[in-house]
A and B are shown apart, each in its own frame.
Chain A
Amino acid sequence: MLQYTLKRILLVIPVVVFISVIVFYIIQLPPGDYVSNYAAEMSVAGEVFTQEDMDAMRADLGLDRPVYEQYFIWIKDIVVHGDFGFSFNYNKPVLAVIEQYMGLTLTVSLVTMAFQYLVAIPIGIYCAVKQYSIGDYFFSGLSFLGMATPHFLMAVILMFLSYTWFGDPLLGLFSAEYVNAEWSMAKMIDLAKHMVIPVIVIGLSGTADLIRVMRGQMLDELNKPNVVTARAKGLSERKILFKYPTRAALNPIVSTFGWSLTSIFTGSTITAIVLNLPIQGPVMFNALLGQDMYLAGTWLLFMALLTVLGTLISDILLAWLDPKIRTEFRGT
């Protein structure tokens, strides 16, 4: 197992290096850079920016160098100093920007994920056991509905409904008075209130998928002879259900957890924009739009790393969960 893992990790390194090159290249691809973007933004606000101003700014930020030079400087700083560069937009080191949003991002993502798994797995089991029952149709229909509605539209509609019914569109994650307040019970409640729409919007689609997978897996597992064996042994139906099919059906779901690693951090960018959530997704989107390249680059690199690691974790998890593979490694 260890050897396998090590081998996989070693393979990750060239992949990540390659990705970092692509990432950097792609960020550079759209015409214009941070300076032209900045100049355009400030022109809108009525400020005068001359070509000299822009050239000077470029020179300061090192944007006048060739792309490959910028790349090597960036990578060198990462490797040598652990310095991921500087965010032009925030006037802060990239890591500080990422850190600023990490807490709430994780909160939103983990709550959403917990919601997804806690809701989807029981419903998936239920729908499989009671296949073709009214409940099955109801939950399947509901989850399909969640999946079929584009997130951004659902978010806007829920926000508007919340405004018309409760007079509060529940924008952001906190009401204005709590944004900078110390943590307190009231702030927690306020946060919980503001989490409802994101959890529904982001969670529902994922839930739909999970329910489908869980239901399908359960249906497969319920038809396996080992269930009959267990029954012939005299086990109660409940015990059978949880010990055999559920356990087996959870395997693929647990192992896909690695795949969703990236979504923990990005969340649903579009939804977050619509709902004004102060999380990483929109920050990175804006970094891309504004060509805040080290921020965007670091983030994309991070995401790429997570994707690769997620695949690795999934593979290892899958191997670990499958006794067949696990024991093979034990033997060697």
Chain B
Amino acid sequence: MTAEAVQTQQPLLRVRDLKIRIQMDNGVMNAVDGVDFEIRKGKTLGLVGESGCGKSLTSRALLSINPKECETSGTVAYLSSSEPGAAGKPLNLLSLDPNGRQIRSIRGRKIAMIFQEPMTAFSPMYTIGNQITEAILIHRTRNKKEAKKIALEMLSKVGISDQEKRFDQYPHEFSGGMRQRAMISMALSCNPELLIADEPTTALDVTIQAQVLELMKTLQQEFGMAILLVTHDLGIIAEMCDEVAVMYLGKIVEQAPVKEIFHNPKHPYTKGLLRSMPRLGGNKSKRLDSIEGAVPIPVNMPPMCGFYERCKDRMEGICNAQSVPATQISGSHTVRCFLYSDQHGGE
């Protein structure tokens, strides 16, 4: 882990003010509400948060593969040298036609994605080989033999033995871990610059989880790609990430290098999350802490801190009266909380 190098690395993707709004019967839901972050080349950014905080939507917004009900605004600047935008400016992925040729040439080739449930993410109707070569055939070669060769290579890289046989098998013939390996091999088959992993190990059991994560790390080093790791599991964050963004209710409430988050969490929510994490050598008899209350629905929310209701340190009249700005704690550590903001001093 090279946390000290985080700042020095070139950004690959810069997300600014990403908002996703969904029209509901009873109002507009701000599912993602002004998210900013950067992903650096070869590094791993962890996006952590509870179910429903908007982290998956955010990750999918990068590739414009959210359903059309999601009104998405903001910029997703793709800073790859190989993919310049108009007039040399960085390419804003959100400005592209979501069904257009340009975004499709980025999907799978430059930015690949793996999903939580490898069973459903693969179609049961086709062989694994068919589904892996599909991406290769689009992006790398039109020769089927060659594509198969690449796919077999990839399969061996992710540690699947007997690839020739496996190539012609169907997803249901794979175990969960194997499937995820296959999924990774599919995602990496075109040497992407960025891999978006949406809860890649949630559906796997713990030993397989470790194997898959290890595999991802190994391959990251081999291919030199960046990873956006979306998860709710802080353990995985600790193991995998260089930098962490904690999301809550559509907003990034705290963002910092991984050590910083674990050793010096600022936001009450981050603290709560950490407390709810089981620790090796912790007191067994003690129940794990949990954050009380439930995530509210961000529909017609007034400008206020979304964590207000559940926050132990809430300040009435402040936290529930205005939207919370981001506060820079240190060079790489920002937090969205009035506890650290200068603004509340003005009361």
Direct contact of A and B (CB under 8 A): yes
- Chain A positions near chain B (C-beta within 8 angstroms): 224-226, 228-237, 243-244, 247-248, 251, 322-324, 327
B151 vs chain A, min Cβ distance (A): 13
Stretch at the interface among B88-96, B134-142, B312-320: B134-142
A224 to B106, CA, bound (A): 22
Known: A323-B124, A324-B170, A327-B169. A236 touches B104 (CB 8 A): yes
B344 interface hit (Cβ, 8 Å): no
Query: Could you jot down 6 A-B contacts, CB within 8 Å?
Result: A224-B123, A230-B134, A232-B113, A235-B138, A237-B99, A243-B123
| Interface members, chain B 97-143 (any A CB < 8 Å) | 99, 104-109, 112-113, 115, 117, 120-126, 134-135, 138-139
Residue of A nearest to B64 (CB): A231
A132 to B172, CA, bound (A): 34
Mark interface residues in B261-284 (1 if CB within 8 Å of A CB, else 0): 000000000000000000000000
Q: Which residues of A contact B117 (CB under 8 A)?
A: 225
Picked from B65, B120, B122, the residue with its CB within 8 Å of the CB of A232 is B65
Picked from B138, B170, B173, the residue with its CB within 8 Å of the CB of A233 is B138
B60 interface hit (Cβ, 8 Å): yes
The 5 closest A-B pairs by CB, nearest first: A234-B108, A234-B107, A232-B113, A233-B108, A226-B123
Residue pair B122, A226 in contact (C-beta under 8 Å) = yes
Known: A225-B120, A232-B63, A247-B125. A327 touches B104 (CB 8 A): no
B186 interface hit (Cβ, 8 Å): yes
Known: A224-B120, A228-B65, A248-B123. A327 touches B172 (CB 8 A): yes
Q: Which residues of A contact B121 (CB under 8 A)?
A: 225-226, 228-229
Picked from A226, A233, A247, A323, the residue with its CB within 8 Å of the CB of B120 is A226
Count chain A CB atoms within 10 A of each CB in B106, B122, B124 and give the residue with the most.
B124
Picked from A226, A233, A244, A251, the residue with its CB within 8 Å of the CB of B107 is A233
Q: Which residues of B contact A229 (CB under 8 A)?
A: 113, 115, 121-123
- Chain B positions near chain A (C-beta within 8 angstroms): 60, 63, 65, 99, 104-109, 112-113, 115, 117, 120-126, 134-135, 138-139, 169-170, 172-173, 186
Residue pair B134, A233 in contact (C-beta under 8 Å) = yes
Residue pair B173, A235 in contact (C-beta under 8 Å) = no
B201 vs chain A, min Cβ distance (A): 16
Residue of A nearest to B112 (CB): A232
Known: A225-B120, A225-B121, A247-B125. A236 touches B115 (CB 8 A): no
Q: Which residues of B contact A226 (CB under 8 A)?
A: 120-123
Residue of A nearest to B122 (CB): A226
A211 vs chain B, min Cβ distance (A): 22
Picked from B122, B126, B135, B169, the residue with its CB within 8 Å of the CB of A234 is B135
Q: Which residues of B contact A232 (CB under 8 A)?
A: 63, 65, 107-108, 112-113
Q: Which residues of B contact A230 (CB under 8 A)?
A: 123, 134
B171 vs chain A, min Cβ distance (A): 8
Tally A-B pairs: CB < 8 A.
75
Q: Which residues of B contact A231 (CB under 8 A)?
A: 63, 65, 107
Q: Which residues of A contact B104 (CB under 8 A)?
A: 234-236
Q: Which residues of B contact A244 (CB under 8 A)?
A: 123, 125
Residue pair A235, B134 in contact (C-beta under 8 Å) = yes
A233 to B125, CA, bound (A): 17
Q: Which residues of A contact B60 (CB under 8 A)?
A: 228
Q: Chain A: interface secondary structure? A: helix
Residue pair A323, B99 in contact (C-beta under 8 Å) = no
Residue of B nearest to A247 (CB): B125
Residue pair A324, B65 in contact (C-beta under 8 Å) = no
Residue pair B123, A234 in contact (C-beta under 8 Å) = no
Q: Which residues of A contact B109 (CB under 8 A)?
A: 234
B15 vs chain A, min Cβ distance (A): 17
A323 to B173, CA, bound (A): 10
Residue pair B172, A323 in contact (C-beta under 8 Å) = yes
A327 to B333, CA, bound (A): 53
Q: Which residues of B contact A225 (CB under 8 A)?
A: 115, 117, 120-121
A7 vs chain B, min Cβ distance (A): 23
Residue of A nearest to B132 (CB): A233
Q: Which residues of B contact A235 (CB under 8 A)?
A: 104, 108, 134, 138
Residue of B nearest to A223 (CB): B67
Residue of A nearest to B111 (CB): A232
A225 to B169, CA, bound (A): 20
Q: Which residues of A contact B120 (CB under 8 A)?
A: 224-226
Residue of B nearest to A331 (CB): B173
Q: Which residues of B contact A327 (CB under 8 A)?
A: 169-170, 172-173
- Additional A-B contacts beyond A232-B107, A243-B126, A251-B125 (14; CB < 8 A): A225-B117, A228-B65, A231-B107, A232-B112, A233-B108, A233-B138, A234-B105, A235-B104, A235-B108, A235-B134, A247-B125, A323-B124, A324-B124, A324-B170
A147 vs chain B, min Cβ distance (A): 30
A229 to B171, CA, bound (A): 14
Q: Which residues of B contact A324 (CB under 8 A)?
A: 124, 170, 172
Count chain B CB atoms within 10 A of each CB in A225, A232, A248 and give the residue with the most.
A232
Q: Which residues of B contact A224 (CB under 8 A)?
A: 120, 123
Q: Which residues of A contact B112 (CB under 8 A)?
A: 232-233
Known: A231-B107, A247-B125, A248-B123. A323 touches B170 (CB 8 A): yes
Count chain A CB atoms within 10 A of each CB in B109, B123, B169 and give the residue with the most.
B123
A132 vs chain B, min Cβ distance (A): 12
A223 vs chain B, min Cβ distance (A): 9
Q: Which residues of B contact A247 (CB under 8 A)?
A: 123, 125
Residue pair A234, B115 in contact (C-beta under 8 Å) = no
Q: Which residues of A contact B124 (CB under 8 A)?
A: 248, 322-324
A225 to B120, CA, bound (A): 6
Count chain B CB atoms within 10 A of each CB in A229, A244, A247, A327 and give the residue with the most.
A229
Residue pair B186, A233 in contact (C-beta under 8 Å) = yes
A228 to B63, CA, bound (A): 11
Picked from A228, A234, A243, the residue with its CB within 8 Å of the CB of B138 is A234
